[in-house]
Structure 1
Amino acid sequence: MLFPIHSIELALNDARKHRQDQTLDETPGQTATVKRLLSHVEPIAWNSRCVDVLDHFIRHEDLPAVAIVDAEQMPVGIMDRGRIIEIFLRPFARDLLYKKRIAEIMDANPIVVDINAGIDDVARIIIDAGMRHMVNGFIILRDGAYAGMATGHALLEEITQRKQRDLYLLAHYDQLTGLPNRLLFKDRLETACRGALRGGRMLGLIFVDLDRFKYINDSLGHSVGDRLLQTVAERLTQCVRHSDTVSRLGGDEFVIILPNLDGETAATTVADHIVAALDQPMPVYDHALQVTASMGIVLYPLHDSSAEGLIRKADAAMYQAKQLGRNRYALYSEHFDDGLRERMLLEAELRGALGNGEFSLHYQPQIQLSDQRVVGVEALLRWQHATLGAISPAEFIPIAEETGQIHDIGDWVLRQACRQHLSWIAAGLPALRMSVNISAKQFEQPGFAGRVAQLIAETGMIPEHLELELTEGAVMTHADRAAQTLGELRSLGVKLAIDDFGTGYSSLSYLRTFPINKIKIDQSFIRDIENTPANEAIVKAIIALGNSLGLETIAEGVENLAELECVKSHQCHEVQGYHFARPLAPGDFVTWHREFLGTAAA
């Protein structure tokens, strides 16, 4: 298991070089070289008697190995405790070896590195040279002369600690901007609220949403959009104090925590600085982009005394700023809740959507790269309202989860997907794997596995053809209970996949303990991967992790040939995305599949 874990560490380390987040106080030299592993171990002369070296190990009980040096103190070999003791355990060994020199039995091929050698480079050397060196350790030179030794244990410990730090960064910081992510933001906001309550101080919260960012993203491409977000993050950070927190919630949404304020003027002053900072053109590749933002401001405890309430009202104030013409901020007022009333209207309409037949499923093909064969589809929910038009799942799924409607909707999706699967088989299509997204609220519902079993029996679906996709958050919120539910699902024969891998908890432990079949690499890592070394390093690491644990990997969001070739070069098993097909209505999928088979045959 050493090699896959080491490969992941290398990839994450490479990715870290491209991040802007610098949360650790250690310098690159200290963390990257073997200098920190150096221990002074008195070397043994090459012409020392073997029995004297044995006595040396007996006197120094904690010594795992010793360097053998020549007259110029240059290392010529290494002897480890286990080997010499094993030799002297043989009958008459002491008599036979009494006059022999240690040079005759030493390991004459030790690993010798300079004190400035990178830890990752040394780990690669050990892996390539043979794992016995993990026991022996390696010799370190300073200015070409013997300086000491380092143990394989110390090397592994350093790699493990660095990996844990990297996993913490992945779990708590946005990988694009290096800012705290939603998870860390909520924790800091709750902490700031408690501090404001104890100190009797005011707390400010600014919700920042870029204006017309989608237009930039769609017209100039995701790479330009990503770089723009990085530039915005830099400018927002420059507008606040060190004690403030700038976070990225996702997409083009940022939020700023301002503790210890004297009043609302302090918060609006920050907002004025942000407006001025964003007003300056932003150089992005060959473009000089102009971007504005709409901001909502709330104050604790004036507007709300809970973290969730502050977030909701800051969002309402931001929406009001957009309504007033964008490129401005608005301080929360009760009448801003009109926007929330629209949400309540959407909630009411959602209650009748299922009964009115407004929901449908579209299906996006999943391609196996080894033979360019369609092996499955992902079922994606769509809502077409009679007057409101197409409503994004990002808008109505959170409402469905909050109101509990997700359970009925989720049952409908599962039932409809299973029926469609059987309908396609009856029409002559192969038995494709049917992947269905499961909401965290659905998964946490008591008896969920039993409900899935009931729907399978009701529709006649073969369980092995059904795959349920769960987010990392869904399986990690209540890990013990999740493990039981996952085990029950697997006992049914259902396949299980972790969706959007790398954007949530990013805990590797659950992949070993939970009965998971597949990892879905989030599309944010795939986007422009051929030009983003950090993304490529992370994707390579995830695929290596999946291979080491016997898990399949699928890359979602593959939009062009360059992205396809990149993930394919790293031995990803499957892909899906616009490069092959957008989500298709059932009839359109049949036509597409027929055409795809013809193209593949040609």
Structure 2
Amino acid sequence: MAGMLGKRDQQHGVITLQGLLLVFTGGLLVLILTAAFITSFGYFRGYVADQLGDHARDGATATGLSLSNAIDGSDPVAAASLIDAVFDSGRYLSVEYLDHSDSLIAGRRKPLQGTAAPGWFIRLTSLPRPMAEAEVVRGWSRLGKVRVVSHPGRAYDDLWRITVGLLVGVLAIGGAGLVVLHLLLGRILSPLKALEAQARALGQRDFRKRVDIKSTRELNQVTEAMNQMADDLGQLFEGQGKLIQHLRKVNNEDPVTGLASRSAFDQRLRAELESEEKAAPGVLIMIQLGFFVDYNRAYGRSEGDLLLKQIAGCLQRFVKRHTESFAGRRTGAEFAVFLPGASAADVRVWAEELVAELDGLYADHAAPMDTIVHAGLAVTAEGLGSRDLLAAADEALVAAQQRDESCCWLSETGLENHHNMETWRVIISQAIRDRSLSLWLQPMVQGGEQSVVHYQVFSRINSPEGVLKAGLFVPVAERLGLIKDIDRLLIERVLERLASHPGERLAVSLGSASVADPEFRSDLLASLGQAGPLVSRLWVGVAEQTIHHHRKDVSTLVRELVRLGVPVLVDRFGVGGVPFSYLKNLPFRAMRIDNSFIHNLDSHDENRFWLESVLAIARSRGVKVFATGVETAAEYSVLCKLGIDGAMGYHLGRPFAAD
């Protein structure tokens, strides 16, 4: 890419094909017209010079005959009168009557003056001044001779008028010819500009641009070939995107419900709990439909699958209402939902509402059969791994199943470590009012030398309980509608940091509610617009799930950010369930793979193959690929072999306070 930009910069100032043809053809036209002008001018000058010579001879002959026959040439007074009359006609510079010894008998002379032609033109053309002589005789006696020089004033005037007319004609013809030539070349070569724009679009992996302008046969064939190539590349990209989407579904989605498969859910849960930065309080819900085996036996497998799909639809709507939560199918009619950053008391209320909704849906399908829905809740705790949390949720589910009605059962594990929503509201609101938000930076590195690509910005809240990580309060802030205020404060601090550290590059991630809010988007664009060129060093991340739920808002924001020169990346790529084709329609510069795909990458062949496919298609579009959650040397080794553009995690560098 840098090489292409370098070559493009080197081509600045090189004449265009249209300009070259215009200069060559226009120059040829000017040369022809100039030659025609010079030839015509020379012809007219010679013609005028000949006329001057003829006029001088005619004047000398007529004067000589008059002195010879009509007037007595031997009488100086009469001769002088005749010469005065001829001279006063104004058509001669000199008229002289000379004797045998060339002595002047009578004559008149005057300088060249009184012409309409400018002096520089007279000096430039310099017409000859022909002199003619005629004998004066009386009978057989030779009295003398008459010498006449014609006045070239009229000749200069005629030549000046002819020259001006020629020049005006040449300029008019030349100007009209150049204008027509410019328009004609513009019309003929107009597809070239469209082809150039199409080629640049293809270089940026935009295959939607078409050239519909018709011109000459050769250019039409080129445009058809380029359009066909764009179609083929677009279809190839579409096929690659569908393949990657299919691989993701096969490896990570349950084929019946579309929820996360058991292995994918466990992988993501493990990444959430075992990542030091993302580790945060949360609640796991295990849900079981009772008597589902009897339902399947009574109504058949297809009806059972239809019920499971509708149950999954309820769970997906539940997940959408609770930011960063995710759901999966375990086995049969058993489902799991994890809500990060939520308190046990709040989740218990939500779970009871969810169980009531699922029970009503189940009962409507199974009537008149008996139905029941149970849920077990387990709360995260320090030192509690994913297996322990799943086991605690299973135990709570078994306890719920001891009751003969649809209900929830909450495990006692970790209950003392959680705030309820109101307590969180007080903590976060106070932090916003006090502006007690601090920046922590974690390096995104590349290659074996681990050179820094940029720093990912994490926010921290300074509370009476100590410093709270973003993983603790951001999910809660999303639910409470406070994330917009946090993101405003974050952007303000980040811009201050960029201004005071000229060589630094930073990356921030925006909350889903912030992106969906028109007022926040307007404030964000205004702040970045006022910041000037330094915004080119700020990566702005938008989560893939946000793209899924707010496609129109994301599209508007991304295009405006790109217009300002802000590079935009897809955050948490792979868990949003969005068709890969959005990369073709939105100008993202990079994507950041979710840490659930990186966790234990060295031993997870399916994720490694999927990531390799993502890298291939991203490179074909000039999109960088970053990875998060790198916790071991083995994981980073695999990423380096795949050619990742950047990676971050506790193995590569821990977050540090920006201050």
Taking structure 2 as the reference length, the TM-score comes to 0.45
In terms of fraction of residues, the more helix-rich structure is 2
Larger Rg: 2
Taking structure 1 as the reference length, the TM-score comes to 0.48
